[in-house]
Amino acid sequence: MRWWLALAFASIAALTAVAVAQVFNARSEDAIRARARELTAGSAVTAALEVTSASDRGDIQPAVDQLGESQQLALFVFDRQGSPLTPEQSRGINVASLPNFAKLRDTALQGRRVVDTVDGGRLVTVALPLRGENAAVLIAVAARPDLEDALGIVRAEILRAALWAVAIGALAGLGVALLITRRLRRIATAAADIEQGRFDRELRPHFHDELGTLAGTIDRMREHLRRSFEELEEERDRLQRLLEQLQEGVVAVDDGLVVQFANSRAHRLLGTDLAVGKPLPEPWPAFSLREAGRSLFDPGTSAETMRVHPDPERTYLIALLPATSRSHAGVVVLTDVTDQERRERAEREFVTNAAHELRTPLSAIASAVEVLQQGAKEQPADRDRFLAVVERQTTRLTRLAHALLTLARAQTRSESVRLEPVPLSPMLRDIAENAGDPSVSVELCCENVEVLAHSELLHQALDNLATNALKHASGQGVTLRATHLDHRDVRIEVADEGPGMKPFEAGRAFDRFYRAAGSNGEGFGLGLSIVREVVGVMDGTLSIESRSEEGTTVSIVLKSAGEARGCR
């Protein structure tokens, strides 16, 4: 800035000097030329008196030569007819070649005096009427080289004065510019510190002019901003502490989907790819988080909440809080509702499973009580038989209730299933005996085969499979089979020789509430789905093989509780 200001001062001084020089030069030139005309006219008058006297004596030419030499004039004399009485050439000047010759001669013949300049003012011409007998007009021409010299000197002095004025103006401008620049630099430095968030540099104005007022205003602004930023930092820290305490993940992004803020919960939910200053990640193949983030900056977008299942094990609620403008951040709030949804689903399934599983023993107990009330209690043998049914079904109810509660806790992940060695031989024989059908048989690779399982849950699952197999075996028989696959796994099979299922029916057999075409309409389609849930919480695998008209085999593979000697 100081160079521009110095240049501005120099330009102003130069323009002023040029204007003054032009005026002074014009006035000087006019004054010098006027003085030259006066001197030439005075010399011409003196010469006219001498020429008039010489004309009367008849010796004009000698007088003209002498006067011209003494007065430094070219003199020309004409008679009353305008004819020259002296040579037309004098002191290197031809009078007839003067551009105003006719004007000079004719005006003087009419009795008037003429003073004029020609050749750019270098020649001064004077025409005077004479009163002699022969001479009527005197034309005097003065060449004034001293005039040009004087004008040259004047112009040189004016130029020198102008250059000094420019130099002095430039130096004065540079000094003023340095002073102003220094003060502006202090103001600019303070403003730059404010821009970068530093508010410690004070501005103390030493002059109370406009720049001093500006510096004082900026200093007051700095102090206000410092206090405001301190308050904002306190509010930000409080807000950040609050956000860190939330169970929800909070992510703020700009319009380029670059993360501006993310609390620790968001890092846990979205993984290590989430980082401030980096693009919003895409953690889930089944749902585009970046596409949801882009919608935060669409005009007219309102807040919305959506339920997302990134995988079968997790469920999130995602709240989208759109930005109020492109310069503001959009906010994504993530809530892990997996446990809540799991609990709700377990509660629903518990009620459904309980209604399904408890129906059979309750029906058996109700039937036994009804028979007892109708008179069987009077017969000791019948009474004992039906009381045994009530006792057996009551035990079954207790076991079912405990198994259902255990399954519900496992599904909600509130309690893990405790696995322990379970002998299969007594369990399979008990299930076959309680099935009430002699076609149910048991096949074991050895009597001491054991699996790692939850006894009540496994009993419930196998009982469901046996009941389901009897329902579809059409009296063809059901086999409960246990076989060692290797030293680590045991396969338990429930096979029937019924009509079997078509491939697409077998693929959906474990779905809740699914019943194959042609079923008798009894049940709710829950038995096999409960088996699937039970096997899942015991870390086992479940499969089904079925062929039309060849029967169905459902297999459960569990970890072996130890090497069974004698088993192959």
Q: Which domains does the chain have, with CATH numbers?
A: 2-151 (3.30.450.20), 247-336 (3.30.450.20), 339-416 (1.10.287.130), 419-568 (3.30.565.10)
pLDDT at 414 over 60: no
What is the model's pLDDT at position 149? 64
Q: Is the pLDDT of residue 357 over 70?
A: no
Q: How many CB atoms lie within 10 A of CB 406?
A: 19
Over residues 459-480, mean pLDDT: 82
What are φ and ψ of residue 339, in 5° steps? -65, -40
Among 17-31, 207-221, 358-372, 497-511, name the one with the lowest average pLDDT.
17-31
> Reduced to 3 DSSP states, what percent helix, strand and coil does the chain have, rounded to the nearest 5?
55, 20, 30
Kindly give, in sequence order, each residue whose CB lies less than 8 Å from that of residue 231, ignoring residues fewer than 6 positions away: none
What is the per-residue pLDDT for 290? 85
Of all helices (H) and strands (E), which one includes residue 166?
A: helix 145-195
| Residue 521 binned pLDDT confidence (cut-offs 50, 70, 90) | very low
- Give the residue-averaged pLDDT of 129-138: 81
pLDDT on residue 524? 42
Residue 406 pLDDT class (50, 70, 90 cuts): low
Distance set, CA 318 to CA 301, 333, 427, 562 (Å)? 15, 6, 47, 47
What average pLDDT is seen over the chain?
Answer: 77
pLDDT tier for residue 492 given thresholds of 50, 70 and 90:
very high
The pLDDT value given to residue 58: 65
415 pLDDT more than 60: no
For residue 148, what are the CA distances in angstroms to 100, 102, 120, 269, 552? 21, 26, 10, 99, 134
Q: Which residues pair with 451 in a beta bridge?
A: 422, 560
The DSSP result for 126-163, as a single string, is: EEEE--SSS--EEEEEEE-HHHHHHHHHHHHHHHHHHH
Mean pLDDT of 297-322: 82
Give strand pairing partners of 331: 252, 321
| Arithmetic mean of pLDDT, 297-324 | 82
Percentage above 90 pLDDT, the chain: 4
The per-residue pLDDT for 510 is: 67
Read off the pLDDT of each residue in 533-557 and give the average, rounded to a whole number: 85
With a cut of 70, say whether residue 551 has pLDDT above it: yes
Q: Rounded mean pLDDT of 208-235?
A: 80
Give the pLDDT score at 307: 84
Tokens read off for 550: 């060849």
Note whether 322 and 302 are within 8 A (CB): yes
CA 256 to chain centre: 4
pLDDT recorded at residue 491: 92
Q: What is the pLDDT of residues 173-196, one digit of tens each?
A: 677 777 777 777 777 777 777 777
Q: How many Cβ atoms are within 10 Å of 208's Cβ, its own excluded?
A: 9
Averaged pLDDT for residues 6-16: 67
State whether residue 557 is helix, strand or coil: strand
Q: Quick count: other Cβ atoms within 10 Å of Cβ 217?
A: 13
User: Are 326 and 311 in contact, with CB atoms under 8 Å apart?
Assistant: no
Whether the per-residue pLDDT at 429 is higher than 70: the answer is yes
Residue 539 or residue 414, greater confidence? 539
For residue 566, CA distances in Å to 281, 423, 449 come to 56, 15, 10
Could you tell me which residues come within 8 angstroms of residue 254 by beta carbon, excluding any fewer than 6 positions away?
Answer: 260, 329, 330
Mean of pLDDT values over 490-509: 80
One-letter amino acid at 529 equals: S
- pTM more than 0.75: no
d(C-alpha 54, C-alpha 75), whole Å: 14
| Local confidence band at 566 (pLDDT 50, 70, 90 cut-offs) | very low
The residue ranking higher by pLDDT, 531 or 9, is: 531
| Percentage of the chain lying above the pLDDT 70 cut | 77
* Distance from chain centroid for Cα 7: 43
Distance of alpha carbon 243 from alpha carbon 237, whole angstroms: 10
Question: What pLDDT, on the 0 to 100 scale, is given for residue 335?
Answer: 86
Residue 47 predicted with pLDDT over 50? yes
DSSP state of 263: -
State how far the Cα of 402 lies from the Cα of 394, in Å rounded to an integer: 12
What pLDDT, on a 0 to 100 scale, did the predictor assign at position 461? 84
Q: Using 50, 70 and 90 to split pLDDT, how confident is the model at 556?
A: very high
317 has pLDDT over 80: yes
